[in-house]
Amino acid sequence: MANTILVGAQWGDEGKGKIIDVLTEQADVVVRYAGGNNAGHTVYVGKQKYVLHLIPSGILRKNKLCVIGNGVVIDPIGLVEEINGLAKLGVKIAKNFVVSETAHVVFPYHRELDARRETVKGKNKIGTTKRGIGPAYGDKAARVGLRISDLVDPVLLKEKLSKRIAENNGVLKALGGKPLSFKKVYADYLAAGVFLKPFVANTVVLLHQKMQGGARMLFEGAQGTFLDIDHGTYPFVTSSNTTAGGACTGSGVPPHRMDRVVGVMKAYTTRVGEGPLPTENAAISDLLHGMGREFGSTTGRARRCGWFDSVATRHAAMVNGIDDLAITNLDGLDTLETIRVCVAYRRGKELYDFMPNDAQVLAECVPVYVEFEGWQTPTDKARTFKALPPKARAYLKAISELTGARLYIASVGPGRDQTIFV
Ligand code: IMP
């Protein structure tokens, strides 16, 4: 495997954590490049479940260097908790983990602002994870954010944080929120900075050194294409570039060093939070929730579910340059008699074979479906493509062709062994 970018081809929660874990076997370095602890990547190793929010899931394998790149926003208190939680489960985190000194820091005022803004928006809320992601990226763009290099320098932290708290307390007050105590936030973040300092480095230089040494790199995307700040269903998006381009800006590795893009998508569609979801369907939501599936790994919220939307995934293939597809959760459809796939949208007299940019227009689109016969056979025990029911194989081939990328992996359960290389 050369340098590979892995992205979500839908609205996040595509099962990236598991696919990254599987592909990490063929990589030397795993890099997170966007988002923050709004992400929740679930990986099962045997019966043990791990949910990772910031640390690349490569940490669960031996001799892999895991890097949090400059494009990520880091809640250091959450990161320390994550490191300690993994250590308790016997996961070694030492020289195999590096954090970019230029990644931005998420502070409690970011979380408070996130929550207050959602409350003020009322029924027009975005449905954020309330992890402070939007306000933290906002500060980055406004050039007032603190970076990890500030966090690990007590003098800079004190000086910059005191100014930020003073300003943000004013904003919080205006939004009906509670002011924060500088003393408390400073003490907590100082301690987190001391803890994290040994992991902090110039990751751009480090990654280039590794590449010169022949290391194979895997870029771990978070969230999904339609949550991208530029290419998603704005404003119902997250605040980072979750798409493949973000891997370059979020790591400092240039485009010509990227060899392959793997797109991960479910065999159906889900979304958490507000915003348009053209193929949303109550019956399929009830079916999946009834199976105990499709509850968020970060917030526990029930995900909205719908039929596979090939207009969306085709758009994702275009924007990300997806070469190979990993299709997950095939087993979620095992019991269905008929399976629908959206192939176009209709809005009044207009027929769309692409995703309209305007979220309101998209909300008014009605899916045009084609139907497939369900296989009505459990697939979770299949370990080869041939072992899958012929109707399941036909379905996988059809949705790959409609998306316009090669079928590479089919996943039939959370376990590492439930991964079929096609
Ligand atoms: P934020 O990233 O917390 O600001 O949330 C913005 C939107 O992105 C909301 O609709 C969230 O539900 C969604 N979102 C953020 N992170 C994830 C994720 O990891 N999986 C799925 N949806 C996410």
Spatial contact of 262 and 408, defined as CB atoms under 8 Å apart: yes
Residues 93 and 118 in one domain: no
Among 117, 223, 229, 239, which residue has the most ligand 1 atoms within 8 Å of its CB, making it the best to mutate?
223
Domain encompassing residue 373: 264-421
Residues 94 and 243 in one domain: yes
Q: Which of 167, 196, 225 is the last residue of a domain?
A: 196
Q: Which of 228, 246, 261 is the last residue of a domain?
A: 261
| Distance separating alpha carbons of residues 402 and 311, to the nearest angstrom | 8
User: DSSP string covering 357-371, please?
Assistant: S-HHHHHT-EEEEEE
| Distance separating alpha carbons of residues 28 and 65, to the nearest angstrom | 6
| Distance separating alpha carbons of residues 311 and 323, to the nearest angstrom | 17
Does residue 235 have a cis peptide bond before it, meaning omega lies within 30 degrees of 0? yes
pLDDT for position 41: 85
- What's the domain count of the chain? 3
Query: Which residue is closest in CA terms to ligand 1's atom 9?
Result: 128
Give the predicted TM-score (pTM) of the model.
0.96
For the chain, 422 residues long, the average pLDDT of each consecutive 10-residue run is 93 94 94 95 88 92 96 98 95 95 98 96 94 98 98 98 97 93 97 98 98 97 97 97 98 97 98 95 94 86 96 98 98 97 97 94 97 98 98 98 98 95 96
Instruction: Name the helix (H) or strand (E) containing 174.
Output: helix 154-174
Residues 83 and 123 in one domain: no
Residues 287 and 404 in one domain: yes
State in Å: Cα 277 to ligand 1 middle.
14
Residue 15 backbone zone (phi > 0: left; psi -120 to 50: alpha; other: beta): left
State in Å: Cα 374 to ligand 1 middle.
31
Residues 120 and 251 in one domain: no
Residues 233 and 286 in one domain: no
Residues 318 and 414 in one domain: yes
pLDDT for position 9: 98
C-alpha angle 28-36-195 in degrees, rounded to nearest 5 = 75
pLDDT for position 298: 76
Domain of 277, CATH number, reads 3.90.170.10
Among 227, 233, 264, which residue has the most ligand 1 atoms within 8 Å of its CB, making it the best to mutate?
227
Query: Which residue is closest in CA terms to ligand 1's atom 1?
Result: 128
Task: Say if strands 48-52 and 41-45 run parallel, antiparallel, or are unpaired.
Answer: antiparallel
Residues 389 and 306 in one domain: yes
Residues 382 and 411 in one domain: yes
Q: Which of 217, 236, 261 is the last residue of a domain?
A: 261
Residues 256 and 269 in one domain: no
State in Å: Cα 128 to ligand 1 middle.
6
Spatial contact of 251 and 313, defined as CB atoms under 8 Å apart: no
Residues 139 and 283 in one domain: no
Residues 402 and 286 in one domain: yes
